[in-house]
Structure 1
Amino acid sequence: MQIITDKTQKEKKEHGSFSFPFLLSYERLSAYESGSFLWHWHPEAELTLITSGKMEYHVNEQVFYAKEGDVIFCNGGALHAGNMTCSYDCSYNAITFLPKLIYGYKESVIYNQYVRPIVENPGFGGIYYDYTSTSGKKVHDLTLQISEVASNKKEGYELTIISLLTTLWKILWSDYEASNTKSHGDFRRNYERIRSIISYVENHYQEKITLDDVASCVHLSRSECSRIFKANMQQSLFGFIQQYRIQKSLDYLLDTDATITEIADMVGIPDPNYFAKTFTKIQGMSPSAYRKHRG
């Protein structure tokens, strides 16, 4: 399984309905190929409650190492991805919602004073709530309550969810206002460039990709392209390309009868020996072992 996105990395999955844009889903990282979900975004805000295990969670330029009980808020429109740490599986509740459930309409004081500063700041990716902190415990309890109410669906549950989200948002807004780095200016300036680079890789991973190709698509020099990507994504551009190619190879290994050599070529690594070496480094086992183990 993997998250399906369009060419801009926007997730295609529907998050709730037009009449009630809210969705609760129970997830685990081991359900995804390689124990990770790839970079994507959606207009809805998201709360991730870790119910067991650990997760390395990336949102924009931030990296959070979350454990059981922790909650991560991801802003709508923010690029995010997640993976296992130290081979630990991770189960979590994912709650996605449009903040309009809280503010109602954009002319309201609720929107302009408490919601707009957050949702209209593309450089603000999210906040990590450690369960052991005072605010973290409050956010955990509220997120757990929201999960339980959404799961039980008793009469009037929608009103209860809105009430709980509003209470949680007040905590979020207070923490956002108190943050010294709430603008995340560097990432804000480079946000569209990063998305364009990721989109280019996703659309051309089967081909030979050079630094000149990528730099050209975002109108930057080679050195500046590499610098911006690494500074904001915490990994090199080359490392990201190879990781993405290996991720895509998992589908071919499990869903086709193609040989390892053929699959290597399909994902843009024409040298099967180098493909096998890279695959083993990233996945911890050879392509043939992965096919046998997961197939």
Structure 2
Amino acid sequence: MSTLSYSLTDLSPEHQPPHQHLRYVTSSSFGSDWNGVLHSHDCTELFYVTDGEGWLCTDETRIPLRKNNLVIVNPKVHHTERSSPEKKMHYIVLGIDNLQFRFHEGETFSPFQIFQLSSHREMILSLLHTILEELQKKQTSYEEVCQHYLSILLLQLHRITGKEFSFAPPTDIPYECQRAKAYIEEHFHEPVTLERIAAIVHWDKFYLSHQFSAAFSVSPINYLLQLRITHSKRLLCDTDYSITQIAESSGFSSQNYFTQAFKKLVGVSPRAYRQKHQK
């Protein structure tokens, strides 16, 4: 594997950008010595595939990558990159502190996003190569120049992707808690258990419950119940489904359990709620 890597020292306060800070830049070409072990960073990684093909691998999935893919990976996300043996992958990576991307996919937490930017290759490579050149030459104020080019790159990406993401300040909420919350939001209508959620994030179920409650002021199971009740309210108001059908589609194991849980949280039975609110 052939790698050129550069580290940036902290800028003085008067030169510190108001938001993001470029921590490192790496230009990599895959070789037989590459060890694609799952890992995570406490910064956001942005990498652009300049040539070849490969995969982005996470705990749960493997997504194909090809030339001109731009990949954004939020902090603390377990991932690695693997190259196709036939078409060796080459890419440039930026490590960015004090920045987390919020992707516009509803309320669900998204650990990463991939964009195909073939039509903008020249512009993106120009900015990335300029940053690399500044780091190689180390002329006066080169670090500050790199930070400004990073700002330009991020703004351009925001523009050319149709504003599919927004910049968010970094969060102290553990990635595992965010992932657990996203899993609950995606699967609340299924038979979800605390044990299953804990297995997804590789935490002990008691530790997960404690950390999740500290992060979101609600336990994982109570959050699951809230989502199911909210979903059932919409079905009660907007459909003619039977109470049994609504219970099943909202993730409840039985109509009796649904009725008990609904009355406890809402104060009235599902039937009474429908009579009052159905359009």
Q: What TM bracket, shorter-length normalisation?
A: 0.3 to 0.5
- TM-score, normalized by length of structure 2? 0.46
Task: Identify the structure with the greater strand proportion.
Answer: 2
Q: Which has the larger radius of gyration?
A: 2
Task: Identify the structure with the greater helix proportion.
Answer: 1
- TM-score, normalized by length of structure 1? 0.44
